[in-house]
Structure 1
Amino acid sequence: MSTVNLVEAKAHLSELIDQVEAGETVQILRRGKLVAQLMPAGVPRKPIDMAALRLLTEDMPEQPVSGGDFVREMRDQDRY
Protein backbone atom coordinates (compact mmCIF):
# COMPACT_ATOMS: atom_id res chain seq x y z
CA MET A 1 0.00 0.00 0.00
CA SER A 2 1.36 3.40 -0.89
CA THR A 3 0.33 6.85 0.27
CA VAL A 4 0.52 10.11 -1.71
CA ASN A 5 -0.69 13.62 -1.10
CA LEU A 6 -3.37 15.10 -3.33
CA VAL A 7 -0.97 17.34 -5.29
CA GLU A 8 1.23 14.34 -6.16
CA ALA A 9 -1.85 12.28 -7.09
CA LYS A 10 -3.00 14.97 -9.52
CA ALA A 11 0.44 15.17 -11.12
CA HIS A 12 0.99 11.40 -11.37
CA LEU A 13 -2.49 9.93 -11.77
CA SER A 14 -1.62 7.63 -14.67
CA GLU A 15 1.34 6.19 -12.71
CA LEU A 16 -0.93 5.60 -9.71
CA ILE A 17 -3.48 3.86 -11.94
CA ASP A 18 -0.67 1.59 -13.21
CA GLN A 19 0.15 0.68 -9.59
CA VAL A 20 -3.49 -0.06 -8.88
CA GLU A 21 -3.75 -2.22 -12.01
CA ALA A 22 -0.77 -4.18 -10.67
CA GLY A 23 -2.80 -4.94 -7.53
CA GLU A 24 -1.58 -2.26 -5.16
CA THR A 25 -3.81 0.01 -3.07
CA VAL A 26 -3.01 3.74 -3.10
CA GLN A 27 -4.20 6.09 -0.37
CA ILE A 28 -4.58 9.79 -1.14
CA LEU A 29 -4.10 12.34 1.64
CA ARG A 30 -5.19 15.97 1.87
CA ARG A 31 -3.36 17.92 4.58
CA GLY A 32 -2.24 14.63 6.11
CA LYS A 33 -5.73 13.10 6.35
CA LEU A 34 -6.93 10.16 4.28
CA VAL A 35 -9.56 11.34 1.78
CA ALA A 36 -9.56 8.64 -0.90
CA GLN A 37 -8.33 5.16 -1.63
CA LEU A 38 -7.67 3.67 -5.07
CA MET A 39 -8.10 -0.09 -5.20
CA PRO A 40 -8.17 -2.64 -8.00
CA ALA A 41 -11.66 -3.19 -9.35
CA GLY A 42 -13.19 -6.52 -8.44
CA VAL A 43 -13.82 -9.18 -11.02
CA PRO A 44 -17.39 -8.82 -12.30
CA ARG A 45 -19.64 -11.66 -11.26
CA LYS A 46 -21.41 -13.81 -13.78
CA PRO A 47 -25.21 -13.63 -13.69
CA ILE A 48 -26.93 -16.57 -12.03
CA ASP A 49 -28.44 -19.05 -14.48
CA MET A 50 -31.87 -19.41 -12.90
CA ALA A 51 -32.84 -22.34 -15.12
CA ALA A 52 -29.76 -24.30 -14.03
CA LEU A 53 -30.42 -23.41 -10.39
CA ARG A 54 -34.03 -24.62 -10.62
CA LEU A 55 -32.88 -27.85 -12.28
CA LEU A 56 -30.38 -28.40 -9.49
CA THR A 57 -32.84 -27.76 -6.65
CA GLU A 58 -36.13 -29.16 -7.99
CA ASP A 59 -35.51 -32.68 -6.65
CA MET A 60 -34.36 -31.53 -3.21
CA PRO A 61 -36.83 -32.28 -0.44
CA GLU A 62 -38.32 -29.32 1.41
CA GLN A 63 -36.86 -28.97 4.88
CA PRO A 64 -39.27 -28.94 7.85
CA VAL A 65 -37.38 -26.08 9.56
CA SER A 66 -36.38 -22.76 7.99
CA GLY A 67 -32.68 -22.06 7.51
CA GLY A 68 -32.71 -19.30 10.12
CA ASP A 69 -34.41 -21.47 12.73
CA PHE A 70 -32.03 -24.35 11.95
CA VAL A 71 -28.96 -22.15 12.52
CA ARG A 72 -30.46 -20.69 15.73
CA GLU A 73 -31.07 -24.20 17.08
CA MET A 74 -27.51 -25.24 16.27
CA ARG A 75 -26.15 -22.09 17.92
CA ASP A 76 -28.27 -22.49 21.05
CA GLN A 77 -27.59 -26.22 21.46
CA ASP A 78 -23.83 -26.20 20.94
CA ARG A 79 -21.92 -23.58 22.84
CA TYR A 80 -18.60 -23.08 21.16
Structure 2
Amino acid sequence: MIQTVEAIVDECGVVRLLEPLHLARRHRAFLTVLADEPAADHEAALLSEASLAQDWLRPEEDAAWAHLQQAR
Protein backbone atom coordinates (compact mmCIF):
# COMPACT_ATOMS: atom_id res chain seq x y z
CA MET A 1 0.00 0.00 0.00
CA ILE A 2 1.32 3.45 -0.91
CA GLN A 3 1.09 6.11 1.80
CA THR A 4 1.85 9.81 1.57
CA VAL A 5 2.90 11.79 4.64
CA GLU A 6 3.99 15.39 5.00
CA ALA A 7 7.50 16.09 6.25
CA ILE A 8 10.00 18.91 6.71
CA VAL A 9 13.55 18.55 5.38
CA ASP A 10 16.16 20.81 6.96
CA GLU A 11 19.28 22.28 5.33
CA CYS A 12 21.31 19.20 6.34
CA GLY A 13 18.84 16.80 4.72
CA VAL A 14 17.33 15.59 7.99
CA VAL A 15 13.71 14.54 7.42
CA ARG A 16 11.12 15.13 10.16
CA LEU A 17 7.66 13.65 9.65
CA LEU A 18 4.75 15.89 10.66
CA GLU A 19 2.60 12.93 11.70
CA PRO A 20 3.38 9.46 13.05
CA LEU A 21 3.99 6.70 10.53
CA HIS A 22 3.61 3.13 11.74
CA LEU A 23 5.02 0.38 9.53
CA ALA A 24 5.26 -3.35 10.19
CA ARG A 25 8.64 -3.59 8.45
CA ARG A 26 11.18 -1.60 6.43
CA HIS A 27 10.00 0.00 3.18
CA ARG A 28 11.52 1.99 0.36
CA ALA A 29 10.43 5.61 0.03
CA PHE A 30 10.65 8.49 -2.42
CA LEU A 31 11.00 12.07 -1.25
CA THR A 32 9.77 15.00 -3.34
CA VAL A 33 11.06 18.39 -2.21
CA LEU A 34 8.42 21.10 -2.65
CA ALA A 35 8.74 24.89 -2.62
CA ASP A 36 8.99 26.55 0.80
CA GLU A 37 5.77 28.48 0.34
CA PRO A 38 3.26 26.29 -1.47
CA ALA A 39 1.34 27.98 -4.25
CA ALA A 40 -1.84 26.05 -3.47
CA ASP A 41 -3.39 26.23 -6.92
CA HIS A 42 -0.20 25.39 -8.85
CA GLU A 43 0.95 22.65 -6.48
CA ALA A 44 -2.46 20.99 -6.40
CA ALA A 45 -2.60 21.02 -10.20
CA LEU A 46 0.79 19.33 -10.47
CA LEU A 47 -0.09 16.68 -7.91
CA SER A 48 -3.45 15.88 -9.50
CA GLU A 49 -2.27 15.80 -13.14
CA ALA A 50 -1.40 12.10 -13.25
CA SER A 51 -4.64 11.10 -11.57
CA LEU A 52 -6.77 13.24 -13.88
CA ALA A 53 -4.90 12.02 -16.96
CA GLN A 54 -6.39 8.57 -16.40
CA ASP A 55 -9.81 10.08 -17.12
CA TRP A 56 -8.72 12.54 -19.79
CA LEU A 57 -6.78 10.11 -21.98
CA ARG A 58 -9.69 7.85 -22.90
CA PRO A 59 -11.39 7.41 -26.28
CA GLU A 60 -14.72 8.49 -24.72
CA GLU A 61 -13.21 11.84 -23.74
CA ASP A 62 -11.75 12.36 -27.22
CA ALA A 63 -15.17 11.70 -28.75
CA ALA A 64 -16.90 14.07 -26.32
CA TRP A 65 -14.56 16.97 -27.15
CA ALA A 66 -14.10 16.25 -30.88
CA HIS A 67 -16.48 19.05 -31.92
CA LEU A 68 -14.13 21.59 -30.28
CA GLN A 69 -11.01 20.24 -31.97
CA GLN A 70 -11.84 20.98 -35.59
CA ALA A 71 -8.91 21.49 -37.96
CA ARG A 72 -8.01 25.12 -38.66
| TM-score grouping bracket, smaller chain normalisation | under 0.3
Larger proportion of helix: 1
Larger Rg: 1
Q: Give TM-score scaled by structure 1 length.
A: 0.20
- The structure showing larger relative contact order (alpha-carbon pairs under 8 Å, at least 6 residues apart) is 1
Q: Give TM-score scaled by structure 2 length.
A: 0.22
